[in-house]
Amino acid sequence: MPVLELADTTKLTGRPQELLSGFEKGMGFAPNVLKVMANSPAALEAFLSAREALSKGALDAQMIAAIGVTVAEIYSCEYLLAARVAMAAKAGMTEDEIKLARQQSSSDKKKDVGLSFVRNIVVRHADLPKDDIGELKAAGYTDGEIVELIANTSFNMMAYYLIQVAAPEIDFPKVATAFPV
Q: Could you give the domains of the chain?
A: 61-157 (1.20.1290.10)
How far, in Å, CA of 148 to CA of 67, rounded? 11
Q: How far apart are the first and last CA of the chain?
A: 27
**pTM, entire model:** 0.93
Contact 152, 67 (CB under 8 A): yes
pLDDT along the chain (181 residues), means of 10: 85 89 90 94 94 97 98 96 97 98 97 98 90 96 98 98 96 83 47
How far, in Å, CA of 76 to CA of 61, rounded? 22
Q: What is the pLDDT of residue 130?
A: 82
Q: What is the pLDDT of residue 126?
A: 87
Q: What is the pLDDT of residue 1?
A: 64
33: nearest Cα among 4, 62, 67: 4
Q: What is the pLDDT of residue 176?
A: 86
